[in-house]
Amino acid sequence: MNGLALSSTTGRSLAAALRWWVSELGSLAGGADRPEPARSDLILQLGPPEAGDALTLIDRRGETPRRYTLAGGTDDLSERLAAIRGTGRKVVSVAVMVDPAACFLRTLRLPAAVLPRMRDVLAQELEAATPFRIDAVHTDWFVEGEDADGLKVRHVVLKRARLDPLLATLAAARLVVGPVSVGPSEDRAMPVDLLSGGGRPIPRLLRNFTRGDGLALGLALLLACAAFGLLRAHQDATLAALETATFEVRRAAPQRLPPPVQALAGTLVAERYARPPLAILWSALARALPPAAFAESLQIDAEGVSVTLRTRDADAVLRALDAAPDLGTVVVREREAAGERLVIGLYVRAWTNPGPAPGLRP
């Protein structure tokens, strides 16, 4: 049961995170390209409630800004705004500046873990702690600071009944509405946009992202991956060549042994190559023996090579071995005339022909 509850909680967390990412990607794909406050042509200031419906419009398209005072409750407000806009085909943008006294401002202490889902958390908290409903207001937020207790978040709320009629009037006057900021003036405005709904503002570069930009970015990523693959292949080839060269240098380097050990090793090697291989010695013995004699065994010990022969005429065998050109001195160690057994010791000569051995006799 605990495992099922844990999996259910994890599933809800993943679903909430997925919904947040989908909403952010949706705002990225469908976000309007609103002009920034510093680039707007007109600034429309909405005063505090005690000012009534009075509006202040600042036209800064010319060298000297012009100021207009308008009444917000009149029926001809859209015509007057259209007259101020002019008859040109150029798009005219307007930034709305709302006085903080017309908004509901509150400061909340929240843990830093809720930052990715701040918009949803503030919406739930707003409906639970205030008489406002999220579908009846425009909201935005920003972080004022952070301490050991968490984040200090400033939440800004404005009723739609106060702002929506003004937005409709601006649209009727064919004015492009930019961000709706909150502050007594443009240079002292809060970093909020009430039309964003609490979503983070999208950079202008990403808002103007086109399909061609996506293709160019994909091609750049593909070229970067290909360059990385070539770089890795070059590194692998360089490392392999370096490893091979290291092994060759180690193989060609002289042995770092003490001089007595090197001298003894040289002597052993010289003696080894001075004596013929066992197969050459056995073949030379087979060629030297008369047809009536044969070798029974060959033994190598500290004294040299000991051979056991079977023959009826030992003297003839000894004479044949002494006359053999490939064999050295022959010493009789055991001799049994009755048993026709002869044991001799061979002292081979130095082997001076390291080339291909002659044909061997079995």
What one-character-per-residue DSSP string does 20-44 give?
Answer: HHHHHHHHHHH---PPPGGG-SEEE
Q: Most confidently modeled of 36-50, 201-215, 282-296, 333-347?
A: 282-296
d(CA 251, CA 237): 21
Q: Among 131-145, 184-198, 224-238, which stretch is predicted with the lowest mean pLDDT? A: 184-198
Among the listed residues 188, 139, 187, 169, the one whose alpha carbon sits nearest the alpha carbon of residue 55: 169
The pLDDT of residue 209: 61
pLDDT score at 230: 95
Q: Residue 276 has what pLDDT? A: 64
Q: Measuring CA to CA, which residue among 177, 205, 229, 215 is closest to residue 37?
A: 177
Give the span between the Cα atoms of 346 and 318, in whole angstroms: 11
Which of 161-165, 297-301, 323-327 has the largest mean confidence? 161-165
What pLDDT, on the 0 to 100 scale, is given for residue 238?
94
- Whole-number Cα distances in Å, 12 to 22, 117, 124: 15, 14, 17
Secondary structure, 3-state, 137-197: EEEEEEEEEEECCEEEEEEEEEEHHHHHHHHHHHHHCCCEEEEEEECCCHHHCCCCCHHHC
Supply the pLDDT for residue 336: 79
Lowest-confidence segment of 74-88, 239-253, 339-353 by average pLDDT: 339-353
Q: What is the pLDDT of residue 362?
A: 43
Grade residue 339 by pLDDT with cuts at 50, 70 and 90: low
pTM metric for this prediction: 0.47
Closest-CA residue to 179 (of 202, 203, 195): 195
| pLDDT value at residue 235 | 94
Backbone angles phi, psi at 237, to 5 degrees: -65, -40
Mean pLDDT of 180-200: 84
